[in-house]
Amino acid sequence: MPHALACGFFLRHAGSHADTVWADEAMVKRLGASDTGSPINQPSFLIMDIFEAIAKKDLHAVAALIKNDPQVVNELSPVFLGNKGPGDYPEGVRPLMWATFVLRTPADTPIAEALLLGMAAVKSDLNEIDVFAGRTVLHWAAYNDNLLILQMMQKFAAEHKLKLNYNQRDNGNKTPTQVALGKGFHQFAKIMAPERLKNAGQGPVHLAIVGMGATGTGLFIRLIRGMVEAPAVYPREVLKQVRISLIDSKTVLGRGMPYSDELNSSTSILNVHAAGMSIDSTDGADFLNYIKDKYLQGDLEQGLGEAGFHGLTPVAPPNPTGYYPRTFFGKYCTERLTHWIEVAKQYGISVDAYPTTVVAKVGKPDKGVMTVELKGSEFSTKPGAPTSKLDATHVFNATGHWEHKVKAAKPYETIPGCIQFPASRATLEAKGVFKQPTHVAVMGSSLSAIDAVFGVLLHPQVGHLTWEGSKPTYHPHVDLKSGKMPWRVTCYSRRGVWPKVRPSDNRDVDAKWTSPAMYEILRQVFNGGKSLDLKTCVQLLDNEMAELYNRPLPGVGAKPGEKKPLPSVMEMFDPLKLLAEGVPRNPWNLVASDVRDCDDGDSGSNAERPWVRWYQIIHGLFPVMTRVYRGWSPKDRADFDKNLNTPFLWAFAPMPLHSARILLAMHEAGVLDLFRTPEEEAPKPNADKKHLDYPYFDEVGAKKINTHEFLAITTGLGSDVRLDAGELTQADMASGQLTIQDQDAPDPKDENTFFLADDDSYEFLDVQGNHSPARRGVGFFSHASYFMIQAVPAVVGHTRNVAELYLAEFITRLLGDATKAIPEQKPFGRPGTGPQDQKSKL
Ligand SMILES: Cc1cc2nc3c(=O)[nH]c(=O)nc-3n(C[C@H](O)[C@H](O)[C@H](O)COP(=O)(O)OP(=O)(O)OC[C@H]3O[C@@H](n4cnc5c(N)ncnc54)[C@H](O)[C@@H]3O)c2cc1C
């Protein structure tokens, strides 16, 4: 029988069961011609019977037909195997490829089930990647939020003792869970990891969140909202079985390291604008609403503290593009946390807060329970609470910035006036910085250095700012008692430049050559899936710049009358020739020109070298750079770290325009300088051991020395978590529960990120590489690599995903049925005909 008839037959049946069985044109075409154009020549009656049984949803008949004559699969193979014939595979093994095209659309379950049964008969590999599309069935299901297929495959795999590979990556380098999460199919992602749901029906839930900074707080809020706002899924009697313990070593929960009053002053400003700083992942405007409420209640001025007084942050209605003090953000997080603790309690969820409490150790999961060992004064005094241990069913690590191992102090750290940043105003006062006018040295010139500069120069005794429109003027205070010169600050760094200024136009540009998708394609095409080397990446960057600036490629001479070729990316990276020794430089001119560029945008005189564009390109490269960097050889990484990371740092951590203007005003007032220091020559204590001799190069490259009584060190926040001296990390490493490596890295020894689970959290891996799904984490701590460092918008995004997964686990544990956690799962019937549905079929 010609294949057209077979297709017609199938279609007829499909039509007669229009509401339950589908067969769209594309599928029929594929049945007729397959993805590669191999037609069915002479399908046997058996095949027709199989199609008929599929159409009738008679799975037993399908199974029986295949079982009775396994060879029938060979007849199907021209359709399902594409170019490959049955002889291309080992005896008895068939790839799954033949089924994937059916499963790639929101397929009707019986059809898929029939195909799976067929696979069982021929021992197919469930994890086979479809060579045409580069995806497994799991991927297809994930792309389509096809939960029923997923569950069926899981059941099928369990029954047939097959293993589904959840970590298999498609040609976009994504695991099925990443695909699902990327498309917002959280329910799918939950069910994707059945091992996380294995404690179904085991009873009460106790989650311990270790660390209540931005990450822990963001997770808690999302979890509580997820439960109390879905009463159909989480009725009150169920919520009574949920307990959450919030543990932090600090006295106030919700702050974390960069936003605490202990470590920061109100003159330290956020480097992400207000619109991006919501701690509540269900409500992106939450921080703006908080500011608005404070303003309307007349409490904003007090909340902003000195930042308001100096005009760093205007006491005005909320400004989405404004930058607010970090301590103000910390207060916001604490207030929101307090609010949601109250709400949780009203709904019967038990919440215990343990401030000033350190988690020293978390035991290995034993029958689904982990023992959390605690140390802390508050804890033991809590009436009725266990003295030093908690048993938790889930432990979430949000321990954030790590404590560095105390190495032998460097000589310059031994002077009494040495202060490690971040440090609060109170710490500076206690050290005696404001006793009398002095010249403070700041080691570093990054964002933390700016905190130190503002911490000193904006002290009420030292000076103040006035504003004319957007232009500030700095007024140094002369010490009336001594009549001495005002306080001064000099910053020193190897590069001798400030961070770049964040342009007000923050749009991302659509990268052509360096988008993650293009990078993946190039990687596949040029390097068999391996990372491209540094040289090739630089060429891609050159292409990108040329493309976006609409200029000839570097090195290609322009014809007379044409625009000059652009400088190469390398040159663009180093506009001041900062990397070349002995070249005169002036960081202030650079800041001033950045400020001008930000004000003017990329038009007019800026068109030749548009900085905003440059920023957008380099900034937009982060997603791909993280991947590229991790794939490089250790040598390429070292080359990059030495020669190229400055521009990325510039784009990764630029300073707010406001801060740049204030720095310029301070410099103009003669109280602030920034100099480059010799590469290998550290500052030295002088003979009295109380002062420091700091060597530096002046503007014309002449070597000089300044003497200081106070040194603010702002370079201490490294990015190697192996140096974490925290008891918990040390205990985890000692017990083999924590391995600091990334399994994807070509040389794991060299990689200092944790294993990042595909739900965007990380799970601890033991030395055997086994996950501990009961124990997760996210946030800064888990992203130790330079290119993985996460700011609030990112960690809050991660916590959203983790919370969704927890919510499913909780309900499964409590009610024994994972599907109860899926109130919004769409039914899978005949696919729609809208453009989106059409697209998803491709
Ligand atoms: C100086 C500085 C400024 C920054 N500014 C910004 C900014 O303006 N905007 C932005 O988006 N990002 C900023 N960041 C990035 C920062 O990483 C994130 O904003 C965010 O703080 C990360 O939150 P976290 O909760 O993961 O970590 P953390 O804030 O470090 O919080 C972790 C918490 O866990 C506690 N803890 C740790 N170990 C234990 C233990 N064993 N037991 C109990 N408690 C423990 C700690 O005490 C701490 O409170 C800044 C970072 C720094 C260092």
> What are the pLDDT digits (tens) for 730-761?
887 777 666 655 444 444 443 334 444 444 45
Q: Which atom of ligand 1 is nearest to the CA of 789?
A: 17
CA of 759 to the centre of ligand 1 (A): 21
CA of 779 to the centre of ligand 1 (A): 8
What confidence category does residue 536 fall into, taking pLDDT thresholds of 50, 70 and 90? confident
Q: Which of 417, 434, 441, 488 is nearest to 705 (CA)?
A: 441
| 183-227 pLDDT per residue, tens | 767 666 656 655 555 666 778 999 999 999 999 999 999 999 999
Average pLDDT for residues 79-92, to the nearest whole number? 40
Atom 34 in ligand 1: which residue has the minimum CA distance? 211
| 663-717 pLDDT per residue, tens | 999 999 999 999 999 988 899 999 999 999 999 998 888 899 999 999 999 986 6
Write 823-828 long-range contacts (CB < 8 A, 24+). Answer: 823/230, 823/232, 823/233, 824/187, 825/147, 825/187, 826/145, 828/106, 828/107, 828/108, 828/109, 828/146, 828/147, 828/148, 828/149
- Give strand pairing partners of 354: 247
How would you class 41 by CB atoms within 10 Å of its CB: exposed for 0-12, middle for 13-18, buried for 19 or more? exposed
Q: Which atom of ligand 1 is nearest to the CA of 214?
A: 25
Who wins on pLDDT, 14 or 265?
Answer: 265
Atom 18 in ligand 1: which residue has the minimum CA distance? 791
In whole angstroms, what is the distance from residue 426 CA to residue 502 CA? 30
Please give the C-alpha separations between residue 455 and each of 311, 431, 484, 488, in angstroms, as whole numbers.
15, 13, 20, 12
Residue 321: per-residue pLDDT: 85
| 375-395 pLDDT per residue, tens | 876 555 455 555 689 999 999
| Highest-confidence segment of 146-155, 208-217, 309-318 | 208-217
Cβ atoms of 514 and 697 closer than 8 Å: no
- Give the end-to-end CA distance of the chain in Å, rounded to a whole number: 29
Q: Which atom of ligand 1 is nearest to the CA of 451?
A: 1
- Mapping DSSP to helix (H, G, I), strand (E, B) and coil, where does residue 352 land? strand
- Mapping DSSP to helix (H, G, I), strand (E, B) and coil, where does residue 418 land? strand
Q: Which atom of ligand 1 is nearest to the CA of 269?
A: 8
Task: Tell me whether the CATH fold assigned to 3-197 matches the one assigned to 411-499+656-713.
Answer: no
Residues having CB closer than 6 A to ligand 1 are: 210-216, 247-250, 256-258, 270-272, 326, 358-359, 398-401, 422, 448, 717, 726, 728, 779-780, 791-792, 795
Scan for tokens 């491709």, then name that residue: 842
CA of 212 to the centre of ligand 1 (A): 9
Task: Give the CATH superfamily of 411-499+656-713.
Answer: FAD/NAD(P)-binding domain (3.50.50.60)
Atom 16 in ligand 1: which residue has the minimum CA distance? 791
Scan for tokens 């090739």, then name that residue: 536
Residue 438: per-residue pLDDT: 94
Q: Which atom of ligand 1 is nearest to the CA of 790?
A: 17
Query: What's the angle, vertex CA 162, arms to CA 157 and CA 165, rounded to 5?
Result: 90
Number of separate helices (H) and strands (E) present in the chain: 32, 19
Q: Which atom of ligand 1 is nearest to the CA of 781?
A: 26
CA of 356 to the centre of ligand 1 (A): 16
Atom 8 in ligand 1: which residue has the minimum CA distance? 270
| 159-176 pLDDT per residue, tens | 777 777 777 777 777 778
CA of 215 to the centre of ligand 1 (A): 8
Query: What's the angle, vertex CA 444, arms to CA 541 and CA 793, rounded to 5?
Result: 60
Pocket test for ligand 1, best of 215, 255, 257 (most atoms within 8 A of CB): 257
Residue 581: per-residue pLDDT: 54
Residue 829: per-residue pLDDT: 28
**Over 60: is that where the pLDDT of 822 sits?**
no
In whole angstroms, what is the distance from residue 534 CA to residue 639 CA? 8
Who wins on pLDDT, 596 or 7?
Answer: 596
In whole angstroms, what is the distance from residue 277 CA to residue 63 CA? 55
| 644-653 pLDDT per residue, tens | 666 677 777 7
CA of 459 to the centre of ligand 1 (A): 25
What confidence category does residue 635 fall into, taking pLDDT thresholds of 50, 70 and 90? confident
In whole angstroms, what is the distance from residue 286 CA to residue 274 CA? 10
Q: Which atom of ligand 1 is nearest to the CA of 792?
A: 11
Number of Cβ within a 10 Å radius of residue 315: 16
Pairing of strands 471-476, 463-468: antiparallel
CA of 288 to the centre of ligand 1 (A): 21
Atom 35 in ligand 1: which residue has the minimum CA distance? 211
Please give the C-alpha separations between residue 675 and each of 100, 137, 574, 696, 772, in angstroms, as whole numbers.
62, 58, 17, 6, 49
Atom 2 in ligand 1: which residue has the minimum CA distance? 258
CA of 751 to the centre of ligand 1 (A): 22
Q: What is the 3-state secondary structure (H, E, C) of 207-256?
A: EEEECCCHHHHHHHHHHHHHHHCCCCCCCHHHHCCEEEEEECCCCCCCCC
Write 503-507 long-range contacts (CB < 8 A, 24+). Answer: 503/597, 503/598, 503/601, 503/611, 503/612, 503/615, 503/616, 504/321, 504/598, 504/657, 505/601, 505/612, 505/616, 506/616, 507/616
Cβ atoms of 653 and 789 closer than 8 Å: no
Report the topology of domain 3-197.
1.25.40
Write 273-276 long-range contacts (CB < 8 A, 24+). Answer: 273/320, 273/321, 273/322, 273/323, 273/656, 274/318, 274/319, 274/320, 274/321, 274/322, 274/323, 274/324, 275/320, 275/321, 276/792, 276/793
Q: Which of 767, 768, 765, 785 is nearest to 777 (CA)?
A: 765
Q: Which residues of 558-580 are buried (b: 16+ CB within 10 A; e: fewer)?
A: eeeeeeeebbbbeebbbebebee
User: Can you give the residue ranges of every domain in the chain?
Assistant: 3-197, 206-284+326-402+760-816, 411-499+656-713, 516-652
CA of 830 to the centre of ligand 1 (A): 48
Residue 613: per-residue pLDDT: 73
Average pLDDT for residues 525-533, to the nearest whole number? 68
CA of 792 to the centre of ligand 1 (A): 9
In whole angstroms, what is the distance from residue 530 CA to residue 632 CA? 9
**Over 60: is that where the pLDDT of 98 sits?**
no
Scan for tokens 């290609």, then name that residue: 556
CA of 214 to the centre of ligand 1 (A): 6
Atom 29 in ligand 1: which residue has the minimum CA distance? 256
CA of 431 to the centre of ligand 1 (A): 25
Q: Which atom of ligand 1 is nearest to the CA of 329?
A: 8
Average pLDDT for residues 536-565, to the nearest whole number? 64
Pocket test for ligand 1, best of 729, 780, 786, 796 (most atoms within 8 A of CB): 780
Residue 157: per-residue pLDDT: 78
Q: Which of 192, 109, 195, 117 is nearest to 156 (CA)?
A: 117
- Give strand pairing partners of 708: 692
Q: Which of 303, 296, 662, 651 is nearest to 475 (CA)?
A: 662
Atom 37 in ligand 1: which residue has the minimum CA distance? 399
The secondary structure of residue 42, as a DSSP letter, is S
| Highest-confidence segment of 68-82, 665-679, 803-817 | 665-679
Residue 510: per-residue pLDDT: 67
Comparing 533-542, 644-653, 745-754, 813-822, the range with the smallest average pLDDT is 745-754
What confidence category does residue 813 fall into, taking pLDDT thresholds of 50, 70 and 90? confident
**Over 80: is that where the pLDDT of 477 sits?**
yes
CA of 650 to the centre of ligand 1 (A): 21
| 568-583 pLDDT per residue, tens | 655 555 554 544 555 5
Atom 41 in ligand 1: which residue has the minimum CA distance? 359
Q: Which atom of ligand 1 is nearest to the CA of 264?
A: 1
Pocket test for ligand 1, best of 217, 245, 246, 248 (most atoms within 8 A of CB): 248
Report the topology of domain 206-284+326-402+760-816.
FAD/NAD(P)-binding domain (3.50.50)
Number of Cβ within a 10 Å radius of residue 381: 9
Of all residues in the chain, what percent carry a pLDDT higher than 90?
28
In whole angstroms, what is the distance from residue 440 CA to residue 672 CA? 10
As a whole number, the mean pLDDT across the chain is 73
Q: Which atom of ligand 1 is nearest to the CA of 248?
A: 44
